Amino acid sequence: MPRLITFEANKTYATKENAIKAVEKKYDKVDQLRYFIMPTSEGRFYPIFVGAGAVDLGVHFHFHVVA
């Protein structure tokens, strides 16, 4: 049976633009990272990175990662 994964965002941003700026500030020199922005039920936003490359670079110490 499929299992639902829910994230508890420990760091959120007021706008999508602020979330993108936070990612770009932290990883501005890294081209191989892929991510998307998710909203919370309160209307705030947080990034989720995709792929094993994000785990290899230690992104999981700063943001959510699914691989």
Mean pLDDT of 34-57: 96
With respect to residue 27, please indicate whether it lies within any of the assigned structural domains: yes
Q: Is residue 46 part of a domain?
A: yes
Q: Is the pLDDT of residue 23 over 90?
A: yes
Domain assignment of residue 25, yes or no: yes
Q: In this structure, are residues 28 and 22 in contact, taking their beta carbons and an 8 Å threshold?
A: no
pLDDT recorded at residue 67: 86
> pLDDT exceeding 70 applies to what percent of the chain?
100
Structural domains in the chain (count): 1
What local confidence, expressed as pLDDT, does residue 12 receive?
Answer: 97
Tell me whether residue 60 is exposed, middle or buried, using C-beta atoms within 10 angstroms of its C-beta: 0 to 12, 13 to 18, 19 or more: middle
Containing structural domain, residue 36: 16-66
Q: What is the pTM of this model?
A: 0.88
28-42 burial, b if ≥16 CB within 10 A, otherwise e? eeeeebebebbeeee
All residues at 6 or more sequence positions from 42 whose CB lies less than 8 Å from its CB, including other chains: 12
Q: Is 50 inside any structural domain?
A: yes
